[in-house]
Structure 1
Amino acid sequence: MGRTAQLPGPVPDSVDHGGPMSLTGAYLDTAAQAVTLLAAPEVAASWERPSALTDMTVGGLAGHLAYQIFSVAPAVREPASREVPIPLLEHYARAAWIDAPLDGEANAGIRANGEDIASEGARVLLERARAALAEQRTALPVVRVGRVVFMPQTGWALSLDDFLLTRMMELAVHLDDLAVSVGIAAPELSATAFDPVLTLLARLAARRHGQAALLRALARAERAPSAINAI
């Protein structure tokens, strides 16, 4: 299985996610899958119904999925940040939402933002997502290697590759959430997208539950833990 089969040792400062420009194409492919799912008639037909996520409508979940694409806009429109980027796993260690309760301020804000993005309806959201992806298909491949992206919502910066990997992980998880919510099959990621997303999730799961728990979940069903969630 190559890189995805390497089980976590001591958690490093960064995640190996391929060559210097490998994440750009993988992100664009994954974003395109999100746009395709947003165009599914089942999504528009279920817009006001509850989604598979607690306290989130299908429309709000679609808005949150589309936000992952919209949030890449600063990477292609704004000057490169002069901030020193932090390591990818440190980004998740600092994230306010990752261990917050569902009814806490961080997660309530995420849900509200998704609903707000979706407030103009399925057709408008789809048009916005298509336009954002079209812009990024042109702009991202020519962005300089090593570019740093400042994230105002967090107050720190990541390298472009690490930032795109955070978007890919979010897209991958919420593609499944949205597909399940409307009763259709979840799209499968390309290998170039799935491998780094899986590696990232495995690293986060190992840090949360320990190496032994992750090893047992993957290889020893008879003593697998009841939970091995990464986030």
Structure 2
Amino acid sequence: MNLKDAYLDTAAQAVTLLGAPEVAASWAKSSALAEMTVGGLAGHLAYQVFSVTSALQEPISKEAPIPLLEHYARAAWIDAPLDGEVNSGIRANGEDIASEGPQALLERARATLAEQKAALPPVRGDRVVFMPQTGWALSLDDFLVTRMMELAVHMDDLAVSVGIAAPELSATAFDPVLTLLAGLAARRHGQAALLRALARVERAPAAINAL
């Protein structure tokens, strides 16, 4: 299984979660994320799938792709305040996507995934994907890793919000997500802190968050 297959598998898990009756039943309730409803969180989760179609529709970029960790070093939402413009915009976008209701969102996500299953496999992993919302480019493979990380984190958020078990990622999807999060955690806290958190609980720091 390559990264494209791993992404499609993870996206399918997200779409299945969007169809859980517990999600629809809690749509207007508060989620596990501050100031976000379950519906808004579901919309944000679905957006991760929709964004892949948007990326594939962009003309092939002549921009040089930046490294994956550099993408997060530049990201405006990293460490942005909850009530800041960036996070407020993310929440508003999720709520806007959710405004069509749980069934309509589920059907849209299913249709999008079906289109991607046909469109994504032939595309080269080194294709350069320009992201207008950021102003820089990534390789398709790196972009898909960002989507898998978002899907993994927000599937857990959504599952916790409605009291069901979070999906287990395939090893092919989990490995690059874990590598990315470990790299971000090491950059934030230092290598020693990460090593101690994983191997020396008696010396582990209080926090080892990646984001």
Range of TM-score over shorter length: over 0.9
1:191 aligns with 2:167: no
SS in 2 for 1:157: strand
C-alpha displacement at 1:81, in angstroms? 1.4
The Cα offsets for residues 45-94 of structure 1, whole Å up to 9 and x where unpaired, read as 00000000000000000000000000001333333111111111110000
Match of 1:69 among 45, 49, 54: 49
- For residue 197 of structure 1, report the CA deviation from its aligned partner: 0.2
Whole-angstrom CA distance in 1 between matches of 2:146 and 2:96 = 22
Equivalent residue for 2:61?
81
Say which is worse superposed, 189-198 or 103-112, in terms of deviation.
Answer: 103-112
Q: What does residue 13 of structure 1 align with?
A: none
Q: Equivalent residue for 2:32?
A: 52
Counterpart selection for 1:143 from 119, 123, 132: 123
In the aligned structure 1, how far is the partner of 2:199 from the partner of 2:179?
16
Amino acid at match of 1:68: Q
Normalised by the size of structure 2, how large is the TM-score? Answer: 0.98
Q: What is the identity percentage for the equivalent residue pairs of Structure 1 and Structure 2?
A: 84
The equivalent residue for 2:136 is 156
Q: CA deviation at 1:223?
A: 1.5
Structure 1, 70-79 or 120-129: larger mean CA deviation: 70-79
Q: What is the CA–CA distance in structure 2 between the aligned matches of 1:110 and 1:127, rounded to whole Å?
A: 22
Find the aligned partners of 1:58 and 1:130 in 2 and give their Cα distance. Answer: 19
Cα RMSD over matched residues? 1.0
Residue 76 of structure 1 contacts residue 136 of structure 1 at CA under 8 Å; is this kept in 2? no
Answering whether residue 83 of structure 2 is matched by residue 103 of structure 1, we say yes
Matched, 1:23 2:10: no
**Structure 2 Cα separation of the partners of residues 125 and 78 of structure 1:** 23
Contact kept in structure 2, 1:50 and 1:57, CA below 8 Å: yes
Aligned length: 211
Q: Structure 2 CA distance, aligned partners of 1:144 and 1:25? A: 12
Q: 4+ residue runs of structure 1 moved beyond 6 angstroms?
A: none
Tell me if the contact between 1:86 and 1:158 (Cα under 8 Å) persists in the aligned partners. Answer: yes
Unmatched segments (≥5 aa) in structure 1: 1-20
Q: Report the equivalent of 1:224.
A: 204
Contact 2:125–2:139 at 8 Å: present in 1 too?
no
What runs of 5+ residues in structure 2 fail to find an aligned partner? Answer: none
